[in-house]
Chain A
Amino acid sequence: MSSTMLPNRSKTSVLVFLLPPLLLYGIAVLFPIVQSLFLSFFSWDGITDLRFVGFDNYARMFVGDDVFWTAFSNSLGYLVICLVLQLGGALVVASLLISLRRGRELVKTLYLLPAVISTVAIAFLFQRIYSLEPTGLLNQLLQWVGLGELQQAWLSNVDTVLAAVSIPEGWRFTGLYMLIIYAALLAVPQELEEAARLDGANWWQVFTKIRFPYIRPVWITTTIIAATYALRGFDIPYLLTNGGPGQASELLTTYMYKTAFTHTDYGYASTISVFIVVECLIAVGLIILLLRRKADA
């Protein structure tokens, strides 16, 4: 295979170029995962000796820990909100951008801006936006449009807090995914679309029959990136609410972090991290499976 693809290059030169990144990947990614897997069978507080506990940590995680399951379902909620905002938002904005004749660069930059602002700044920004006392932007807006009775402390209400911490993350990266999808949409051949329109296809038909199938490979990649990012989401919920009130915005990642670095229960934290790795792998597998099957159908 390689000899047909790379007729003039030897296997050695390929290896020379592939090995350093592979090694780096091994040290930075695979090794910690193996280490977590190893630690997940122990009880360890960091300063006393490791104690082998077999599958105790796993048993505790699956049957003995209500916070874990709360965090897991919160993580799924967080994932859904982020994906809808990031992918849905990105697709809508990119499609509109394509039809825009002037000022494309400006709009693109504006949408991309939040992705380059530091997370801490974004967390502080949203803390102000959601605030009730003193009145923040969101509550002020509600007042202005006559929905004053909806005013509330968005980050203190257990019913709104999960959405409130997910939205900044979704909003933040919409621009980034918009850019990727926009680039893919640009590559859709104009002749095809024009031919379809001449045949009487409406906007929706053009989108579903021509544009979307064309960008599907990019869409799969984008979905995988966005999903794994959202499953690993940590910083904004951690900074905004630290998982509270109660466990209403606790994600698996913030829970794992607390278990490791606040509770110094490194063994159990490793067990949770193994779960996160497996969860990410399953999510990626599912996405590929679903989108491939659709493509085949």
Chain B
Amino acid sequence: MTHTRIRAAVVAAAAAVALVLSGCAGGGSAGTDPGDVDPAGEITPREISWLLSRPADGGVITAMQQIADEYAADHPGFSLNLITTPDRPSYIQKYETLAAANKLPELFDTDATPFARKLADQGRMIDAEKLLKSLDLYDDYRPAALNYQRFDDGSLYMIPFEFQLEFFWYNTALFEQAGVQVPESLDDFPAMCTALRAAGVTPIALDGQDQWPLERYMAYHPFRTAGPEYVQELKKGDAKFADPDGQAAVDWLHSLGEAGCFAQGFSSTGYADAQALFTSGKAAVYNIGTWELGNLATENLDPAVRDDIDYFTLPLTPDAVTAANEYVTPSGIGMAVNAKTFDPLVRDFLAFALKRYPEVYAATGALSPTSNVETTIPDNATPLYERAVEQANDVGEQIAMPWDTQLDPTSNTRLQQELTLLVQGESTPDEFIDTMDSTIAQNGPAAFE
């Protein structure tokens, strides 16, 4: 009896190990050559899927749905299945799990993260630069929109569908009430906050729950003092927070916390609540991109504050190495094309869709990633809308990259956590620097080897 039981256990364990091995081995297989952007063969309409992370009723999905319907009219049997997970962390988990199982669909969204870099290295994504050039669309794109999608070595594997500018929106009436001016330098922020607090106003509305908004503030100071290279070196462990530029940035963030810049309890404030603080006239400043134009620069905005809203772009620092027209100008999460499932149909659909897209998308009032169309200003827009749209034509070359797309995920998580503690005053700048430098030293070099 005992013997049988032991034998059965051994067999079961062996089977389990075998299953584990076979389950894990499926990782790195590549399909077609990622450089072959024009595969031979016939176009056979079928359903293709796009795993994406964009608002379900947003401009990109609406436009692409319309374009897919137009394409399907000429290609019976074709359909585009849009599977969206707007919540970014959930999306990333879904996409990375599917990548691990080698089950990614024809099209999928990703930022230029270390993980995406690995997929590209394994030949699992089509070379987007080659594809766009072979479709004769490459030159239509705003260089800044493409640059945002590139990996550090300049290679391009993701196609942008948006172009956004991130501004500091502010309430002129509250500024006047507190007697403060638009800050000329980032270093003026603490004084601005102190004055606003003294006037009983919440200085800055911040969605702390989603982590990335606070991480933007981490990116600002070094982008001005050291340029976009700082984070590229930092993430590999070649630059440190303990360096003068890093130290200055950490001290700046700490001073923002000390000056009470952010609403109390910001770390558990969500996206909508943060925006409501600003649009209801309770908070004076709100840092967000042009994707919110519909809420901030149209008649959707509360009439009580509508005429008091204005914006300024990322201020400089006294010794800034980047220009005033260079700030966070993302082209959103990009779309990658799965090399394994790339065939004449996928190419033909993309040729049709990407050519048609700018016109359809710009008609919704959004900024196209290409420069060959004019954005339609909605009828209910305030004058601010047009000004913001025109601002897109005056964007410099260097982009302040959001750090959450740059760092390795382990360091990124830790940074987001430590930032909250730093700004809340739970940790000192020195503790922050120690923790972060050792975390990045542990994880960064390995992720970018």
Contacts and interface: CB of A to CB of B under 8 A. Distances in A.
Contacts of A35: 16, 19-20, 23
A46 B100 contact: yes
A49 interface: yes
Given A244-B420, A247-B417, A46 B99 contact: yes
Give the interface size class of chain B.
35 or more
B300 interface: no
B427 to A, nearest CB: 8
Interface in B281-305: 282
Interface in B1-27: 12-13, 16-17, 19-20, 23-24, 27
Given A39-B20, A131-B265, A246 B418 contact: yes
A182 to B, nearest CB: 36
Interface string A178-217: 0000000000000000000000000000000000000000
Interface stretch (A107-115, A222-230, A262-270): A262-270
A34 B417 contact: no
A86 interface: no
Interface string A128-150: 00111110000000000000000
B100 A47 contact: yes
A50 interface: yes
A50 B24 contact: yes
A133 B20 contact: no
Nearest to B414: A67
A34 B269 CA distance: 40
A35 B19 CA distance: 9
Contact of A263 (B413, B420, B421): B413
A156 B20 contact: no
Q: Which 10 A-B pairs have the closest CB atoms?
A: A153-B265, A46-B100, A155-B268, A261-B93, A246-B421, A132-B265, A156-B265, A245-B420, A156-B267, A245-B267
Contacts of B151: none
A188 B439 CA distance: 58
Interface in A45-64: 45-50
A156 B208 CA distance: 10
Contact of B413 (A127, A132, A262): A262
Contact of A158 (B92, B264, B421): B421
Contact of A127 (B13, B92, B100, B268): B268
B225 interface: no
B194 interface: no
A46 B24 CA distance: 8
B410 A263 contact: yes
Contacts of A46: 27, 96-97, 99-100
B28 A47 contact: yes
Nearest to B410: A263
Q: Which of B17, B19, B122, B268 has the most CB of A within 10 A?
A: B268
23 contacts: A34-B13, A44-B24, A46-B27, A46-B100, A47-B99, A47-B122, A48-B28, A48-B122, A49-B27, A49-B28, A152-B264, A153-B264, A156-B265, A158-B421, A241-B268, A245-B420, A246-B417, A246-B418, A247-B417, A258-B413, A261-B96, A264-B96, A264-B409
B266 A156 contact: yes
Contacts, number: 118
Nearest to A161: B268
A38 to B, nearest CB: 5
B263 A158 contact: no
B17 A38 contact: yes
B92 A48 contact: no
Contacts of A38: 16-17, 20
B195 interface: no
A26 interface: yes
Contacts of A264: 96, 100, 115, 409
Given A47-B119, A155-B268, A262 B99 contact: no
Contacts of A133: 202, 263-265, 269, 273, 277, 282
Contact of A244 (B16, B282, B417): B417
B233 interface: no
Contacts of B20: 34-35, 38-39
B118 interface: yes
A156 B268 contact: yes
A135 B90 CA distance: 29
Interface in A231-268: 240-247, 258-259, 261-266
Given A46-B96, A47-B100, A48-B118, A246 B264 contact: no
A246 B420 contact: yes
A25 interface: no
A134 B267 CA distance: 14
Contacts of B417: 243-247
A156 B410 contact: no
A157 to B, nearest CB: 8
A41 to B, nearest CB: 11
B424 interface: yes
B383 interface: no
A38 B269 CA distance: 40
B38 interface: no
B207 to A, nearest CB: 13
A63 to B, nearest CB: 13
Interface string B199-238: 0001000001101000000000000000000000000000
Nearest to A31: B16
A36 to B, nearest CB: 10
A81 to B, nearest CB: 19
B16 A34 contact: yes
Contacts of A258: 413
B92 A262 contact: yes
Interface string A147-183: 0000011011010000000000000000000000000
Contact of B426 (A31, A158, A240): A158
A240 B269 CA distance: 10
B217 to A, nearest CB: 15
B55 interface: no
A156 B426 contact: no
Interface in B100-114: 100
Contacts of B413: 258, 262-263
Q: Which of A45, A46, A133, A241 has the most CB of B within 10 A?
A: A133
